[in-house]
Amino acid sequence: MGRLKSKVAIVTGGTSGIGLKTVEVFAEEGATVVFSGRREKEGQEISDRLGGSVHFVKADATSEEDMATLINGTAEKFGKLDCIFNNAGGPAPVGSIATVDYPKAMEAMTLLFGGVLLGIKLAAPIMQKQGFGSIINNGSIAGHLAGYSTSMVYSAAKASVLQLTRSAAMELGESNVRVNSISPGAIATGIFGKALGLKGQAAEDTAEIAGNVLSQAQPIRRAGLPEDIAKAALFLASDDSTFVNAADILVDGGMIGGRHWSAHQESVKNLGKAFTDG
């Protein structure tokens, strides 16, 4: 406990899923946490539940005005900004490239990529001036390899986030400001329900079902949990990672590490059987 004592952190998209768990973990570790989201009622309830070190600001991650109010306001109120976790996200259009809804695809890119870009852009001058800071971006294994999202638009957006992270890290590292990303694998949250058209609490209620379905998707035989990502974010926000920059931390239970052992053994068995039958 206390790994973030005296630190000031922002978490975008903090009213559910990975963002909410990160807010909880950061607060438990001693940080003053300012979190944002578009759902004011839920945000205020979370702030009230977690106590005086946790503050909610209603903000749309795609609005530069909202993000400036969130980031500049936090630094002005608390005198510094140690960390920002650019976590806000959502689903993107699914289906074939030949039928993709272009306006909806651009809307998704504005949130998934643009929200991260705004977070880095607005936090950077504050952190450069103070001479320290940690910027954490939420990527995805879908940004590393095709076929790990129901949406190729989502994959493209996350690939953009990973490259933006590296590019910004090369510049900001010279000011002792670290920029890193986390790439979650199959994490049991409501995003799968949202991708299939469910809204609000109905989407959030699908997390347990998604976890059961995803439990066999990686060598570690369980679905990932929001706290798995929150703990990786904790490492990057803390002083334990002061020499980590331009990195992407895969938190996927080994999903994209290679061909899964059991599947490979089964294919070898089938190949041997084909030789024998032949």
Q: Among all residues, which ones are annotated catalytic?
A: 154
Q: How far apart, in whole angstroms, are the C-alpha atoms of residue 95 and residue 173?
A: 39
Amino acid residing at 50: L
Nearest C-alpha neighbor of 138 from the set 187, 86, 91, 94: 86
Closest CA to 231 of 18, 11, 37: 18
| Inter-axis angle of helices 102-109 and 152-172, nearest 10 | 30
CB atoms within 10 A of CB 78: 15
From 55, 3, 54, 52, select the one nearest 29 (Cα to Cα).
Answer: 3
For residue 192, give the nearest of 231, 160, 233, 150 by alpha carbon.
Answer: 150
Q: How far apart are CA 3 and CA 151, in angstroms?
A: 37
